[in-house]
Amino acid sequence: MNRSTIDIWVGIFVAAGIAAVIFLALRVSSPSSFTSDDGISVIARFDNIGGLKLNAPVKSSGVVVGRVADIRFDPKRYQAEVTILLFKGIDFSKDSSADILTAGLLGEQYVGLETGGDEAMLKNGDTISITSSALVLEQLISKFMLDKAAETKASQ
């Protein structure tokens, strides 16, 4: 086989391989692990985070505006301390509220952010004070059962 023919074929092979990698990088995957994106990080404390996981999305109006960067247990307050990384260029007011919500009935849990009316914006290291915990299915069911029992007792 001629040397230049071999060169051309290997060139085509390498180019196709590199094109495949680029295709996989651009069309198939998304660079979501850019956690060091220079946004601001805020802290929210919850009584119960349910099944919230690291890197879970933080959504506002259903749009992803940040990620859960760290989850810790605060041994002084006996609460879960969740560090939220908000993407650059998105500002929320100081009295924003954070809820732990579930996508679908049994889906992944995420943090829902809702902005408040305060003029001042959240800064790096601030704490979101208005939070509501995750809905735990067992607690919900037991509460419902107790209510039902109380109702039937009252009606008798």
Partner 1 sequence: MNFFAWLGRITLRSLARLGFAARFMGFLLTQSGTSFRRFHLTIREMYFTGVMSLVIIGVSALFVGMVLGLQMYEVLKRFGSGDGVGTVVALSLLRELGPVLAALLFASRAGSAITAEIGLMKATEQLRAMEMMAVEPVARVVAPRFWAGVFSMPLLAALFNVVGIFGGYLIAVPLIGIDNGIFWGQMQANVDFHYDLVNGGIKSLVFGIAVSLIAVFEGYDAQPTAEGVSAATTRTVVTSSVVILMLDFVLTALMFQGN
- For binding to partner 1 (CB under 8 A), which residues are involved? 1, 3, 6-7, 9-10, 12-14, 16-18, 20-21, 23-25, 27-33, 53-54
Shortest spacing between CB 90 and partner 1, in angstroms: 19
Task: Look up residue 136 and give its DSSP letter.
Answer: P
- Taking the C-alpha atoms of residue 86 and residue 75, their distance in angstroms, rounded to an integer, is 25
Shortest spacing between CB 9 and partner 1, in angstroms: 5
Shortest spacing between CB 51 and partner 1, in angstroms: 13
In the complex with partner 1, the residue whose CB is nearer, 31 or 117, is 31
Residue 25, φ and ψ in degrees, nearest 5: -70, -40
In the complex with partner 1, the residue whose CB is nearer, 16 or 154, is 16
- Residue 77's identity, in one-letter code, is R
Side-by-side strand order, sheet with 127-128: 127-128, 40-46, 79-86, 63-74, 57-60, 109-114, 97-102, 130-132
- Taking the C-alpha atoms of residue 40 and residue 42, their distance in angstroms, rounded to an integer, is 7
In the complex with partner 1, the residue whose CB is nearer, 53 or 72, is 53
Shortest spacing between CB 77 and partner 1, in angstroms: 25
In the complex with partner 1, the residue whose CB is nearer, 29 or 61, is 29
